Chain A
Amino acid sequence: QLQLQESGPGLVKPSETLSLTCSVSGGSISSSTYYWGWIRQPPGKGLEWIGSIYYSGNIYYNPSLKSRITISVDNSKNQFSLKLSSVTAADTAIYYCARDTSGYYSFEHWGQGTLVTVSS
């Protein structure tokens, strides 16, 4: 059974870089035609797509965040990562990683999410 687990610091200072990792078990990141994505949810607000990486290595970013985001994959560790630079309080959110439903551009499997607070 596919499982995704986010990990990373729960507290980041303003202007610094937020770094999160999604560890995948029960399936290989590189072996099938899936998108792997990051989604966030500020407290009390809605979901926002951050970006996705395709198994082939193509990467897609939310245009509104593009200048600050880097998504990468480590096939050897079966993980993919998110870096968000120059964070502000507005980046405080629960961050989810997810895998899509192959060929249908939706997110089928979700991690439990991790809360990242931006504060000095």
Chain B
Amino acid sequence: QTVVTQEPSLSVSPGGTVTLTCGLSSGSVSTSYYPSWYQQTPGQAPRTLIYNTNTRSSGVPDRFSGSILGNTAALTITGAQADDESDYYCLVYLGSGIWVFGGGTKLTVL
């Protein structure tokens, strides 16, 4: 069974840049997996940030960007703000009607 891997936790200073990654237990994440990224704060439903690797969802600030870095999908936050402190999840489409979420990254801004 394919596992999608994310850093359990990361921290960034206000105004700093941080990159979250999304990998596969077997193989590489490519654009063919249509990686997407979601932000979730406590008690709230997930909010879609990025879809199709690097397309920002409506209303998402341009400090959030998506890409492929090596064999992983990546979410980069440039100029981090206090309210970026959240859980972030990636989602990949494995094909044949199968989606898998990563375990999530808890981002601390301090």
Residues of A near any B CB (own CB < 8 A): 37, 39, 46-49, 52, 58, 60, 62-64, 96, 101, 104-108, 110-113
Contact = CB atoms under 8 A, between A and B. Distances in A.
> What size tier do the contact residues of chain B reach?
20 to 34
**A48, A63, A105, A107 — which one has the most chain B CB atoms within 10 A of its CB?**
A105
A70 to B, nearest CB: 15
Interface string B81-110: 000000001010100111111111000000
Nearest to A4: B45
Interface of B: 1, 34, 36, 38, 40, 45-48, 51-52, 55, 57, 89, 91, 93, 96-104
**SS of A interface (majority):** loop
A104 B103 contact: no
Contacts of B99: 37, 49, 52, 105
A110 B48 CA distance: 9
A118 B100 CA distance: 24
